[in-house]
Amino acid sequence: MNGDDPREDPRRRRVPPASGRPAVPPPGRPVPPPGRAMPPDPRYGRPPGGDRRPNPEDGPTVRYNPAPRRGASHVEPTQVLHRGNSGDQPLAYSQMPYEREKPRQPPPPPPRREQVRHAPTQRPVPHHDALPPRRTPPPIDAGRQPRPPRRRRKRHPFRWFTLIVVLLIVGLIAAVVHLDNSLTRITALPSYSDRVSNTPGTNWLLVGSDGRGDLSTEQEQELATGGDTGPERTDTIMMVHIPSSGPTTMVSLPRDSYVNIPGHGKDKLNASFALGGAPLLVQTVEEATGVRIDHYAQIGFGGFASVVDAIGGIEMCLDEPIDDPLAGLDLAAGCQKLSGPQALGFVRTRATPTADVDRMNRQRMFMAALLKKATGMGTLANPFALWPMATGVAGSLKVDDGDHIWNLAALGWAMRGDTVTTSVPIGGFDDTDVGNVLLWDKSKASGFFEALATDQQIPEELLTR
């Protein structure tokens, strides 16, 4: 701008031409004589006639001092230009002719550092096992959007194990309830005055009746039951005593035993069942033996045969052959497997020398074999054999109102091992007004049933093998 001090920007200073021509003072300023300095200018802060010594604050002093031409390395003082080359008025700083500046040269690039080639610093690398190769995902259809990756669920094998156990428990409970509801319940245990008090241990009365009400004509012919014979009677009567400790005792009570029937006098034992059903039979047995009955179970012809067939038959070993057309039985001597109808004829037949005594022995022998197979691991561990047997037993049994399927299971478990099988001591036979009857040995029978009533083992001399 006008009036700016040229000292502020040294780049704007004018350099005298290199031709050696003398500098011309600006117009309006006298030219000093040779050898003398130009008088001071009031614009630079120095009054005329003052100190002629140079002031460092005034900047450089322009002198008109023509000098001989110097070399190119010598820098001349700034020229003073006048308008129209006249020497009267010097030009202002802003009126000086514009002189283009030389373009700046870019700074030279820094010297390129040579890349130092040396081995990289080695660092310890942890060892990792080789990862299995990843499976390449199948290509995604062009028209479908890629699905986000599914979150992988954690496997919980313990949960599956718990679920299986819970399902097994629930299924077992449901099966037990179903079997318990399949039982036919009757009022079998009587309630009468002067009833025998509770005796230690657990006592069952097992009854095999000759009832044919649930059999068709074809089934009666197959089982050789002989048709309808009047009121239902008992072919088999057994007392089972389960002690607090020791082996279980199974006692056969002959159906022709001559005993006192409450309200009917002396008669055969099975007559009590025909006269008053299960309650009168139980009362007769309790008064004759002095042992209180806790549970009752009754099975008919059809149920007996179906239970045997459900477990695949029973293997029996015979010392002598048995041929009884009335029972539909024709068995050879030796060991053989009996089917349902054959097993029913085997426990009913009297075609042997001692008739009822042999039949009681066969019944006990067959009952022991039946319970042994029913409670064996081959049956219990095989649901295809256990379930038909359980449903067959539950559907063919009649029990007391207070009995359940687990009571029957406890009975079978108690008889799975060694069982003492015997019959009541026999004193002989006699003919009476009711026919030929079996008499008990009263002296032996008293001690025999006393041992059962007190939960003791029966003495060996009182046992009948």
pLDDT in tens, 329-365: 888 888 889 888 888 888 888 777 777 778 888 888 8
Asked if the model's pLDDT at residue 439 lies above 80, the reply is yes
Which tokens is 34 given? 């040779």
Which tokens is 9 given? 């920007």
Which tokens is 181 given? 């509801």
Asked if the model's pLDDT at residue 75 lies above 60, the reply is no
Write the burial class of residue 172 (CB in 10 Å: 0-12 exposed, 13-18 middle, 19+ buried).
Answer: exposed
Query: Bridge-partner residues for 256, per DSSP?
Result: none
126-163 exposure pattern, b = at least 16 Cβ within 10 A, e = fewer: eeeeeeeeeeeeeeeeeeeeeeeeeeeeeeeeeeeeee
Could you tell me if 345 and 329 are in contact, meaning their C-beta atoms sit under 8 angstroms apart? yes
293-334, pLDDT tens digit by residue? 999 999 877 777 888 888 888 888 888 888 888 777 888 888
Could you tell me if 53 and 39 are in contact, meaning their C-beta atoms sit under 8 angstroms apart? no
Write the burial class of residue 394 (CB in 10 Å: 0-12 exposed, 13-18 middle, 19+ buried).
Answer: buried
Name the least confident of 133-142, 166-175, 320-329, 434-443: 133-142
- Start-end of H helices in 377-459: 377-380, 383-396, 405-414, 442-453
Query: Bridge-partner residues for 202, per DSSP?
Result: 242
Q: Quick one: average pLDDT of 186-198? A: 90
Q: Identify the top-confidence range among 67-76, 127-136, 366-375, 436-445.
A: 436-445
Parallel, antiparallel, or unpaired: how do β-strands 419-423 and 248-252 relate? parallel
Q: How far apart are CA 251 and CA 292, in angstroms?
A: 14
| Residue 257 CB coordination number (10 Å) | 23
103-124, pLDDT tens digit by residue? 777 788 777 766 656 666 777 7
- Describe the crossing of helices 157-182 and 383-396 by its angle, rounded to 10 degrees: 30
Dihedral sign, Cα of residue 191, residue 195, residue 201, residue 205: negative
Parallel, antiparallel, or unpaired: how do β-strands 234-242 and 248-252 relate? antiparallel
| Residue 189 CB coordination number (10 Å) | 21
Which tokens is 8 given? 């502020």
Q: How far apart are CA 6 and CA 14, in angstroms?
A: 10
* pLDDT tier, 249 (very low <50, low <70, confident <90, very high otherwise): very high
| Exposure of 271 in the CB half-sphere (CA atoms within 13 A) | 16
Report the candidate in 329, 274, 278, 275 with the shortest Cα–Cα distance to residue 299: 278
Mean pLDDT of the chain, nearest integer: 76
Asked if the model's pLDDT at residue 17 lies above 60, the reply is no
Parallel, antiparallel, or unpaired: how do β-strands 202-209 and 234-242 relate? antiparallel
Which tokens is 465 given? 């093998």
Position 45 scores a pLDDT of 47
Report the candidate in 258, 272, 289 with the shortest Cα–Cα distance to residue 437: 258
Q: Quick one: average pLDDT of 440-446? A: 92
Q: How far apart are CA 119 and CA 201, in angstroms?
A: 96
Amino acid identity, position 124: P
Could you tell me if 223 and 301 are in contact, meaning their C-beta atoms sit under 8 angstroms apart? yes
Query: Bridge-partner residues for 295, per DSSP?
Result: 204
Q: How far apart are CA 19 and CA 260, in angstroms?
A: 174
Q: How far apart are CA 302 and CA 296, in angstroms?
A: 19
Report the candidate in 179, 235, 114 with the shortest Cα–Cα distance to residue 404: 179
Report the candidate in 423, 74, 457, 390 with the shortest Cα–Cα distance to residue 247: 457
Could you tell me if 443 and 424 are in contact, meaning their C-beta atoms sit under 8 angstroms apart? no
